[in-house]
A and B are shown apart, each in its own frame.
Chain A
Amino acid sequence: MNRTPTLTGHGPWNARWGTVGMQRLSAHLVRAYWLVTAALFVAVILMLVLYTPVDRGMGPVQKIFYLHLPVAISGFLAAFVVFIASVGYLWSRSMWWDDLAAAAGKVAVLYCAVILLTGMFWGRSAWGVWWTWSPRLTFSLVLFLLYAVYVLIRPTIDSAERRAVICAVYGIIAFLDVPLVYLSVRLIPDIHPSSISLEPAMRLSLLAWFPPVVMLMAGMIGTRYALNRRLRSAEAGRFSEAPSAGAAIRVSAAGGHP
């Protein structure tokens, strides 16, 4: 029987892509990666409570900054992954680039949401308002909306090739907002601080928050990407085993990815 390759370790997949031993090793490495990420989060939270000094001007609410900034940078990185994957798809027309872009797009939305939410708590305490239409806040909201639309339009396009092309072009254009978010505070007068001077202990705390937040972002993109690949492979396998379904349905099935 000519079985279609899957990612489950059965059938010809092993011969084509690896061995069961390699799969087990990779599963162990993935587990270790998530355990290290979780442990780092516990460590930096303890550091925040026990070590990080309280800001004399703003008080304890200034500590939101240690989550807010790394999440913002990670969100930009996720948007950059969408950009690179979109360019990669248009260049090579390989579907795995599209799966990567789809995975990073969802993570970018999530991180943008967390940027906005943590920023709102900061703003309420520092400026007395939950939201103000300052350039950086506005461009950040636009960034969130751009990637939310990116995630929402993907399932509405049936043809896999059309969806990949449209989303790749959109992913490249959407990324143009990232430099605007970064530069707006330097080019336009803004209530949002462009830089904050930190004591050495505060700087160390800020640096300590970057690895776990970036690792979490990378882990999410990797996991979502693995799910996307699995879904695409399962769809392709199902329809190649049912030739009577016809080419028309095959096109539709290939389009059925988040």
Chain B
Amino acid sequence: MTGQAYLLLAYIIGLSLLWGYAAALLLSLRAARQRPPGAVDGESRRQSARAPSITQERTAP
């Protein structure tokens, strides 16, 4: 490959990663703002359904 190709690839990969993540964050924030208050998003639901906490372990029979 030529230097020009390396240059192009480096910029395409680098900028795609940076702006791809930025776009994903902005879309997530936009979706979170449009969600009615109290609604459960997928991430919260997953997190809440995880293993019991320390307190639960202590209080469990």
Interface residues of A (CB under 8 A from B): 6, 8, 10-11, 34, 41, 45, 58-61, 63-64, 67-68, 71, 107, 110-111, 113-114, 117-118, 121-122, 124-125, 155, 158-159, 162, 213, 216, 219-220, 223-224, 226-227, 230-231, 234-235, 237-238, 241, 246-249, 251-253, 255-258
Across the interface, do A64 and B29 meet the contact criterion of CB distance under 8 Å? no
1/0 per residue, CB under 8 A from A, across B12-26: the answer is 011101110110011
Across the interface, do B56 and A249 meet the contact criterion of CB distance under 8 Å? yes
CB neighbours (8 Å) of B11 from chain A are: 45, 64, 67
Across the interface, do A64 and B6 meet the contact criterion of CB distance under 8 Å? yes
CB neighbours (8 Å) of A158 from chain B are: 50-54
CB neighbours (8 Å) of B53 from chain A are: 158-159, 248-249, 251-252, 255
Across the interface, do B3 and A8 meet the contact criterion of CB distance under 8 Å? no
CB neighbours (8 Å) of A10 from chain B are: 37
Count A-B pairs with CB separation below 8 Å. 138
Residue from the set A121, A122, A247, A249 with the largest chain B CB neighbour count within 10 Å = A121
Q: Number of B residues contacting the other chain (C-beta, 8 Å)?
A: 40
CB neighbours (8 Å) of A251 from chain B are: 53-56
CB neighbours (8 Å) of B6 from chain A are: 61, 64, 121-122, 124-125
CB neighbours (8 Å) of A63 from chain B are: 7
Shortest C-beta distance, A28 to chain B (Å), equals 14
A-B contact pairs, 15 of them (CB 8 A): A34-B22, A41-B15, A59-B4, A61-B3, A64-B7, A67-B14, A111-B18, A118-B10, A158-B50, A220-B22, A220-B25, A231-B44, A238-B44, A251-B56, A256-B48
Question: Which of these, B13, B33, B47, B58, contacts A257 with CB under 8 Å?
Answer: B47
> B33-61: which have CB < 8 Å to A?
33, 35-38, 40-41, 43-44, 47-48, 50-56, 58-59
Closest to A121 in B: B10
> Given known contacts A158-B54, A249-B56, A255-B53, is B18 in contact with A114 (CB within 8 Å)?
yes
Across the interface, do B4 and A11 meet the contact criterion of CB distance under 8 Å? no
CB neighbours (8 Å) of A249 from chain B are: 53, 56
The answer for the CA separation of A94 and B50 in the assembled complex, in Å, is 24
The answer for the CA separation of A95 and B7 in the assembled complex, in Å, is 42
